[in-house]
């Protein structure tokens, strides 16, 4: 069971347990691939393709987060093809999604030399901020559909299943059933979705108000108005 495979990564020979993914091996030699959709608390899904590497003899690039290793694999983590692919993914995401509050992605764009203006006429995911509960806001202009929040709400953390993906293609978006406001869903406001969001599309409301220049006591006044709105007594 504990058999190991021997791989070659960027010319270096590496032994790893045979049930590892490429990403696990890369982490073990301190050379992790960049990630967008994967998070240490959620199950890798291979959605974003940012962690791709080149495997000799393979027609397509391999997403390292979900690809299991094989004996004798020869892997290149920084070939031109890999870098171009990562750069293009970032450029396309940046064209349609507001990544201004995604520090990790900004760093990746710098690292891979992404041209932030490459697709100036791309259709953006413009929409209003959803503000329907006392705890967090949802600004889906910033959502790159990494799916982490859905996983956190479901089988990776909370087992509450209040959000999922709705719609098709460009229109697909993270949503509740029937697009209901959060308080009308099974949501328990644990905020574990907020914790795994890479772009600040999900943001605690205190932060949201502070950005608008309100201080703590003014936020409390806002909340009081909110309580009335929610049907609260006094």
Partner 1 sequence: MIKSQKSVRSTCPYCGVGCQVDLQIKDEKIFRVDAPFGVAPNFGRLCTKGRFGVDYVHHPSRLKTPLIRKDLGTKPRQAIGIEGFREATWDEALDLAAEKFAEIVQAKGADAIGSFCSAKATNEDNYLFQKFVRGVIGTNNVDHCARLCHAASVAGLQIALGTSAMSNSIAEMKDLDVFIVAGSNTTETHPVISTFLREAVVKNGAKLIVVDPRQIEMTQFATRWLRQKPGTDVAVFQAMAQVIIQENLYDSDFIQKRVDGFDDYAASIQESTPEWAEQISGVPAAEIRESARLYANAEKAAIYWGMGISQSVHGTDNALSLANLALLSGNLGKTGTGLNPLRGQNNVQGCSDAGGLPNVFPGYQSVTDPESRAKFEGDWGVVLNPEAGLTTMEMVDAAEKGVIRGYYVMGENPMMSEPDLRHARHVMEELDFVLVQDIFMNETGEYADIILPASSFAEKEGTFTNSDRRVQLIREAVPAPGEARDDWEIISDLAKRVEEKLGRKTSAGFEFDSASSIWDEMARLTPDFQGITHERIEREDGVHWPCPTPDHPGTPYLFADTFPSGKGQLTPLNYRPSQELPDDEYPLLLSTGRVLYHWHGGTMTRRSKLDDIYPDPTVEIHPKDAKPLDIHAGDWIKVRSRRGEIKVKALVTKRSRPGMVFIPIHFAEAAANELTLDARDPQAKIPDYKVAAVVLEKVN
Q: How many residues bind partner 1 (CB under 8 A)?
A: 38
Give the nearer residue to partner 1 in terms of CB position, either 66 or 74. 66
Q: Out of 17, 32, 166, 191, which residue is the one contacting partner 1 (CB under 8 A)?
A: 191
H/E stretch holding 150 reads helix 148-153
CA 40 to CA 204: how far, in whole Å? 21
Residue 80 near residue 61 (C-beta atoms within 8 A): no
| Cα gap 145→89, rounded to integer Å | 13
Is there a contact between 230 and 183 (Cβ–Cβ < 8 Å)? yes
> Is 82 within 8 Å of 109 (Cβ atoms)?
no
Q: Looking at beta carbons only, is 81 or 223 nearer to partner 1?
A: 223
Binding mask 19-58 for partner 1 (x = CB under 8 A): ---------------------xx-----------------
Kindly state whether residue 80 participates in binding partner 1, applying the rule CB under 8 A.
no
HSE (CB half, 13 Å, CA atoms) of 212?
Answer: 9
- Among 29, 83, 195, 214, interactor with partner 1 by CB under 8 A: 195
Positions touching partner 1 (CB under 8 A) are 40-41, 100-101, 133-136, 155, 157-159, 183, 188-192, 194-195, 200, 204-207, 210-211, 216-217, 220, 223, 226-227, 230-234
């Amino acid at each position: 069971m504990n058999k190991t495979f021997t791989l070659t990564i960027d010319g270096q020979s590496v032994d790893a347990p045979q049930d590892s993914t490429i990403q696990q091996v890369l982490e073990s030699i301190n050379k992790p691939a960049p990630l967008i959709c994967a998070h240490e608390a959620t199950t890798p899904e291979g959605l974003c393709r940012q962690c791709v590497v080149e495997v000799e003899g393979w027609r397509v690039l391999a997403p390292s987060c979900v690809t299991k290793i094989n004996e004798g694999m020869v892997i290149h983590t920084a070939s031109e093809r890999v870098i171009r692919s990562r750069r293009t993914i970032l450029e396309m995401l940046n064209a349609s999604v507001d990544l201004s509050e995604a520090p990790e992605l900004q760093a990746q764009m710098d690292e891979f030399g992404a041209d932030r203006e490459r697709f100036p006429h791309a259709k953006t995911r413009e929409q209003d901020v959803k503000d329907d509960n006392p705890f967090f806001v949802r600004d889906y202009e910033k959502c790159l559909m990494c799916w982490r929040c859905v996983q956190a709400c479901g089988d990776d953390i909370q087992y509450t299943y209040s959000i999922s993906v709705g719609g098709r293609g460009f229109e697909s978006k993270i949503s509740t059933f029937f697009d209901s406001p959060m308080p009308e869903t099974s949501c328990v406001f644990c905020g574990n979705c907020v914790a795994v969001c890479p772009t600040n599309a999900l943001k605690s409301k205190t932060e949201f108000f502070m950005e608008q220049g309100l201080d703590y006591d003014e936020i409390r006044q806002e909340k009081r108005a909110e309580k009335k709105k929610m049907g609260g007594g006094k």
